[in-house]
Structure 1
Amino acid sequence: GVLVAGYLLGRPGHEALLPNEWVAKLVGGNSLFANFFASITGAFMYFATLTEVPIIQGLLGSGMGQGPALALLLAGPSLSLPSMLVIGAELGWKKTVVYVSLVVVLSTLAGLLFGMIV
C-alpha cells in the first residue's frame, strides 16, 4: 500500500503520477470541503502504524493544505473500513454510525481550526 501511495502521491522533490492540480483542487487550502474530504478519505483508508507520515508528506508536497493534512491524520488512525465492520458487528450499527460521524466531524473541525491558526 505504501509503495503504491509513493508512486501515486510522490515524495518531496519527485513528481507523482497523480497531477498536483488534482490534489490542490481537492484538499488544497483550508476550506470546509477540503477538510471534510480529507477526513472522509482518512476514515476509509487503512493506515498501518507510521505509514501515514510519508503519505501525508507526499500529499503536502503535491499541494495539500496543512488543515486537511491534520484532518486526515486524525481520522486515519481512528477509523478504517475493517475497524468500522468490527465495531458494527460488536456494538451495533447505530453506535457505529454515531462513532464514525463524530470522528469525521471532529477531525474536520480540528483541521479547519488548525488551518486558520497556521
Structure 2
Amino acid sequence: MWMETLKSFLSIALELTVLFVVISFVINLLQSYIPYEKVEKYLGGKNKGLAALFALIFAFVTPFCSCSTIPVVVNMLKKKMPFSIVMIFLFSSPVLDPTIITIMGVVLGWKVTILYTITTAVFSVIIGFTLAALGFEKSVKNVVMKGYEEENKKFNVKAALRETLDLMKSVYPYLIIGAAIGAVIHGMVPTNWIASTFGSDNWWLIPIAAIVGIPLYIRLSSMIPISQVLIGKGMALGPVMALMISSAGASLPELILLKSIFKKELVIMFVLSVMAMSTISGFIFYLV
C-alpha cells in the first residue's frame, strides 16, 4: 500500500511539475505583450460592461492567490476605480489563474475547465454589480496598504525564466502538497467508500463542501491533483468543484486582511457571496 502511494505521488508530482514549469514559462513570456496601461484605462471607463470584461482579463493575467489580491484591490480603490469593477476583480482573481486553469484543462479535461471558467467569471460579475447596487461601497474603509507596487516591465526569455522560478517558490509547494494528499487518497482510501459516500446522488454534499472549503485555505494549485484523484475514485464533480471554488475564493488569512479595508457587513457579504458562488457552481456541475 505504501509503495502504491509513493508511486502515485511520484507520478502525479512529475506530471504536474512538467506542466507547471512549461505553462508558467510560456505565460510569463506572453505577458510582455499585455498593454497594462490600456487595461487600467478600461477598468475605470464609463462603459460598465467593457470595464467588467477587462476586470476579468486583468484577474486572469495576474496570477494571485486570495491573500495577495488584497494589495491590488487597495491600489484600485485608491485610484477611484468603480466599486463594482474592483469587486469583480476581487472575486475572480484567485479563481482565474492562467497557469492553474491550463493545468486543470490537461488534468481534469477541457469541458470541466471551460465550464469552471465561465461559471466563476459570470458569478464574479453578478456579485460585483449586485454589491454595488446594494450600496456596499459605503462599507469600504479609508486605508493605505503597502506591499504592492506597479511595474512596467518588458519580459524576455531570461526575465520569463526568473518569473517562473519566483512563481515556483510561491505556488509550486502547494502543488506538491496537493500531489501528496492526492497520492495518499489514491493509495489508502478505498474507492468503494468514496464512491458510495460522496457519489453523484448525494447533492447535499455540495453546500457542505462550499462551507468547509473557506476555513481550509486549500489553494487552487493544491486542489487540482486532489480533485483528479477524488473524481477518479468516484466522487461527484459537484462537491469537488464547490470545494475548489470556495477554498480558492476565500480563506481565513484573506478575511483578516479584508477586515482591515472593509467594514464588518461587507466582509460578511463577501463570505456569503463566495459560498453562494461555489454552491451554485457546484449544482451546475452536478446537473451537467
TM-score tier, shorter chain, comes to 0.7 to 0.9
Determine what percentage of the aligned residue pairs are the same residue. Answer: 24
Match of 2:273, SS state, is: helix
Deviation at 1:48, TM superposition (A): 3.5
Q: Which amino acid in structure 2 is aligned with residue 50 of structure 1?
A: S
Q: Which of 251, 254, 257 is the aligned partner of 1:80?
A: 251
Greater C-alpha radius of gyration = 2
Corresponding residue for residue 69 of structure 1: 240
Contact 2:219-2:247 at 8 Å conserved across structures:
no
Task: Tell me the distance in 2 between the aligned counterparts of 1:75 and 1:55.
Answer: 15
Q: 1:6-52 deviations in whole A, cap 9, x for unaligned?
A: 465x13xx233x88636753x43254421111111221222345111
Higher relative contact order (CA 8 A, sep 6+): 1
Corresponding residue for residue 217 of structure 2: 46
Deviation at 1:59, TM superposition (A): 2.4
Task: Tell me the distance in 2 between the aligned counterparts of 1:20 and 1:93.
Answer: 44
Pairwise mapping of residues 1-118 of structure 1 onto structure 2 (< 5 A)? 2=177, 5-6=181-182, 10-11=185-186, 14-16=187-189, 21=193, 24-25=196-197, 27-29=198-200, 31-48=202-219, 50-117=221-288
Q: Which amino acid in structure 1 is aligned with residue 181 of structure 2?
A: A
Task: Tell me the distance in 2 between the aligned counterparts of 1:100 and 1:23.
Answer: 30
Which segments of 5 or more consecutive residues in structure 1 lack a partner in the other structure? none
Deviation at 1:105, TM superposition (A): 1.3
Deviation at 1:92, TM superposition (A): 2.1
Q: How high is the TM-score relative to the length of structure 2? A: 0.34
After TM superposition, the structure 1 stretch with the greater mean CA deviation from structure 2, 55-64 or 83-92, is 55-64
Q: 1:114 to 1:22 in 2, by over 3 A?
A: closer
Q: How high is the TM-score relative to the length of structure 1? A: 0.75
Q: 1:91 to 1:20 in 2, by over 3 A?
A: farther
